[in-house]
Amino acid sequence: MIHFLQTLISGLSLGSIYALIALGYTMVYGIAKMLNFAHGDIIMVGAYAAIVAVFQMKLPGLVAVLAAVLVCTVLGVTVEFLAYKPLRQSPPLTVLITAIGVSYFLQNIALLIFGSEQMASPVIMKLPALVIGGVQIDGITWGTLAVTCIIMLGLTLFINKTKMGKAMRAVSEDKGAAELMGISVNKTITITFAIGSALAAIASIFYGSAYVYIRPTTGAMPGIKAFTAAVFGGIGSIPGAMLGGILLGVIEQFAKAYISTLWSDAIVFGVLVVVLIVKPTGLLGKKISEKV
């Protein structure tokens, strides 16, 4: 029982990291209708930014987090401005290939600057372990859970209660109509990229704390998993990304703990395939009716 609970909690923690990254994918998809394949590499940049801030610039932990968030946000907005903005009218595949190009670019820049050797990332949150009813929860695990819960709550409020959030929902519903109502689509997309990248930066801090070692290709696997999570929950849907991310993390940890570490990836993707076959637009995705 204790083993079960511990697996559940570590799954929730991993899942909340996935959820943070998946939010970036799903928001960008919902608003700009593009798959931002470079999103995973933003995580890697965030992790390196934290390493530089803590070990080389000797900044205190919280400032380092802010620095990583700032670097990622600026990077996300710059990439959007330079690479994606000129392609607004292009077919989705063109944008997808450009995003892949950006992903390669970021990986190779990191390779040039930091080398291919793995680097240890700093432990920023030093929290005491909690023991509840015989279940020991690491500081990093419950810290991750707590912070992501707050962030998700804040994001939900932002999307639903503020004017900017309303604009974002409007743009994702109908770009043309939103523009006619006086919403600046370009500004909205920029802000979406900024939020998505900032979330990725926070995810990178947690990811670095949980997995310690960072290398230029680190972003790829959590990126793909988070993308899967976003589709799992229904891409374009914000609660869907949260649910999808957390479920994916829990499934992965249970597969690792109870079945086999070797097969865990196959099981995660297998569940995804089954879910999508049963419910083709993901768990919380809108059903698109076909117009004839």
Partner 1 sequence: MEKKNTFKTALKRLTTKKNPLTVAMVAVLYAVIAYLVYSGSASRQLSNMLISVSCYIVLAVSLNLVVGLLGELSLGHASFMSVGLFTGCQLALTLHNAIPGMPFWVRLPLAMLFGGIMAAAVGFVVGLPALRLKGDYLAIVTLACGEIIKSIITNLKIFGGALGLSTGPIYSNTKTLLPYAIVLVFLTMLLMMNLKKSRYGRAIMAVRDNRIAAESCGVNVTYFKLVVFMIAAFFAGAAGALYGHNFANIKATTFDYNMSIEILVIVVLGGMGSVRGSIIAAIVLRALPEMLREFSDYRMLVYSIVLIAIMLLNASPRFNELRGRLTVKNIIAVLKKKKTPVEETVEVTAGGEK
Contacting residues toward partner 1, per CB under 8 A: 29, 35, 37, 83, 86-87, 89-90, 93-94, 96-98, 100-105, 107-109, 111-112, 220, 224, 227-228, 231, 235, 262-263, 265-266, 269-270, 272-273, 276-277, 280-282, 290, 292
Instruction: Give the nearest distance from C-beta 207 to partner 1 in angstroms.
Output: 19
Which residue's CB is nearer to partner 1, number 92 or number 154? 92
Measuring CA to CA, how many Å separate 93 from each of 37, 82, 105, 236, 272?
A: 12, 17, 18, 18, 23
Q: What is the DSSP code string of 14-35?
A: HHHHHHHHHHHHHHHHHHH---
Instruction: Give the nearest distance from C-beta 19 to partner 1 in angstroms.
Output: 17
* Sign for the pseudo-dihedral over CA of 213, 217, 223, 224: negative
Instruction: Give the nearest distance from C-beta 172 to partner 1 in angstroms.
Output: 15
Which residue's CB is nearer to partner 1, number 131 or number 262? 262
What are 135's strand-pairing partners?
132
Which residue's CB is nearer to partner 1, number 103 or number 141? 103
Q: How far apart are CA 197 and CA 79, in angstroms?
A: 11
Instruction: Give the nearest distance from C-beta 24 to partner 1 in angstroms.
Output: 15
Instruction: Give the nearest distance from C-beta 17 to partner 1 in angstroms.
Output: 19
Compute how many other C-beta atoms are within 10 angstroms of the C-beta atom of residue 146.
Answer: 14
Which residue's CB is nearer to partner 1, number 91 or number 133? 91
Which residue's CB is nearer to partner 1, number 87 or number 135? 87
First to last CA, the chain: 54
For residues 207 and 47, the answer to whether their CB atoms sit within 8 Å is yes
